[in-house]
Amino acid sequence: MSGSLIRVLIVDDSVVIRRLIKEILDADPRIEVVGVAHNGQVAIGKVEELKPDAVTMDIEMPVMNGVDAVRALRKTHPRLPIVMFSTLTERGASATMDALAAGASDYVTKPANVGSVMESRKNISEQLVPKLVALTGARKVVGVARAPMPPPQPPAGQSRASGTTRRTQPFGLLAIGSSTGGPDALATVLSALPGELPVPVVITQHMPPVFTKMLAQRLNSTCKLSISEAAEGDSVERGKVLIAPGGLHMELKTRGTGVFVHLSDAPPENFCRPAVDVMFRSVAAVYRNRVLAVVLTGMGKDGALGAGVIRAAGGEVFAQDEATSVVWGMPGATVMAGQADRVLPLEQMAGTVTSALSANQGAGQSGSTRQANGPVPGGVRA
CATH number of the domain that residue 134 is part of: 3.40.50.2300
Does residue 166 lie in a domain region? Answer: no
The CATH number of the domain holding residue 191 is 3.40.50.180
> Is there a single domain that holds both residue 114 and residue 177?
no
179 with 327, same domain: the answer is yes
According to the model, what pLDDT value does residue 139 have? Answer: 44
> Residue 16's pLDDT is what?
87
Structure confidence at residue 152 as a pLDDT band (50, 70, 90): low
Q: What is the pLDDT of residue 141?
A: 37
Summary mean pLDDT of the chain: 88
Residue 367 has pLDDT above 70, yes or no: no
**How far is residue 271's CA from residue 257's CA, in Å, rounded to a whole number?**
34
Check whether residue 68 and residue 186 sit in a common domain: no
In a domain, 155, yes or no: no
Do 247 and 104 lie in a common domain? no
Q: At what angle do helices 117-140 and 15-26 cross, to 10 degrees?
A: 60
State which residues form the domain around 212.
173-373
Say whether both 25 and 112 belong to one domain.
Answer: yes
Q: Find the catalytic residue in 106, 302, 321, 341.
A: 302
What's the pLDDT tens digit per position in 260-293? 999 999 999 999 999 999 999 999 999 999 999 9
Residue-level pLDDT at 369: 36
Based on the fold, state whether residues 277 and 205 are members of the same structural domain.
yes
Q: What integer is the mean pLDDT of 206-218?
A: 95
88 belongs to a structural domain: yes
Same domain? For 13 and 136 the reply is yes
- Domain count of the chain? 2
In the structure, what pLDDT confidence band is assigned to residue 146 with cuts at 50, 70 and 90?
very low
Q: Is 302 assigned a catalytic role? A: yes
For 5-54, write each residue's pLDDT tens digit: 999 999 999 998 899 899 999 999 999 999 999 999 999 999 999 999 99
pLDDT band at 366 (very low <50, low <70, confident <90, very high): very low
Q: Is the predicted pLDDT of residue 328 greater than 50, yes or no?
A: yes
In a domain, 260, yes or no: yes
Question: Is the pLDDT confidence value at 61 over 70?
Answer: yes
Distance CA 102, CA 223 (A): 18
Same domain, 207 and 349: yes
Residues 100 and 212 occupy one common structural domain: no
Q: Are 69 and 43 in contact (CB under 8 A)?
A: yes
Do 90 and 212 touch, CB atoms closer than 8 A?
A: no
> Does 160 score more than 80 pLDDT?
no
Find out whether 357 and 174 touch, Cβ atoms under 8 Å. Answer: yes
Active-site residue flag, 206: yes
Q: Active-site residue among 106, 206, 249, 282?
A: 206
Give yes or no for residue 379 having a pLDDT over 70. no
Answer with the one of 87, 118, 140 that is the final residue of a domain. 140
Higher pLDDT, 322 or 257: 322
Arithmetic mean of pLDDT, 157-177: 70
Catalytic residue, candidates 179, 184, 277, 282: 179
- Could you say which of 140, 156, 186 is where a domain stops? 140
Residue 152 included in any domain: no
Query: What is the Rg, in whole angstroms, of the alpha carbon atoms belonging to the chain?
Result: 21
pTM: 0.88
Claim to verify: residue 27 and residue 121 sit in the same structural domain:
yes
* Torsion angle (degrees, nearest 10) of CA 347, 350, 353, 359: -120
Residue 285 belongs to some domain of the structure: yes
| pLDDT-based confidence at residue 166 (cuts at 50, 70, 90) | low
pLDDT of 169: 86
Q: Are residues 209 and 282 in the same domain?
A: yes
Angle at 137 between CA 18 and CA 45, to 5 degrees: 45
- pLDDT tier, 91 (very low <50, low <70, confident <90, very high otherwise): confident
Spatial separation of the C-alpha atoms in residues 173 and 159, rounded to whole Å: 22
Rounded Cα distance, 123 and 26, in Å:
16
Q: How far is CA 252 from the centre of its chain?
A: 20
Whether the upstream peptide bond of residue 274 has omega within 30° of 0, thus cis, is yes
Cα–Cα distance measured from residue 83 to residue 104, given in angstroms and rounded to the nearest whole number: 6
The pLDDT value recorded for residue 163 is 42
Among 246, 299, 273, 297, CA closest to 86 = 246
Segment 96-115 mean pLDDT: 84
Identify whether the C-beta of residue 288 lies closer than 8 Å to the C-beta of residue 259.
no
The answer to whether position 382 is within a domain reads no
102 and 218 belong to one structural domain: no
Rounded-to-10 torsion of CA 181, 325, 273, 269: -160
Lowest mean pLDDT among 13-22, 214-223, 230-239, 348-357: 13-22
Range of lowest pLDDT (162-166, 277-281, 284-288, 355-359): 162-166
- Is the predicted pLDDT of residue 137 greater than 50, yes or no? yes
pLDDT the model gives residue 377? 46
Residue 147 has pLDDT above 50, yes or no: no
Query: In this structure, is the dihedral angle defined by the CA atoms of residues 48, 51, 54 and 58, taken in order, positive or negative?
Result: negative
Residue 54: CB partners within 8 Å, gap ≥ 6? 6, 7, 8, 9, 80, 81, 82, 83, 132, 135, 136
Please give the average per-residue pLDDT across 300-310, as a whole number.
Answer: 98
Whether 156 is covered by a domain: the verdict is no
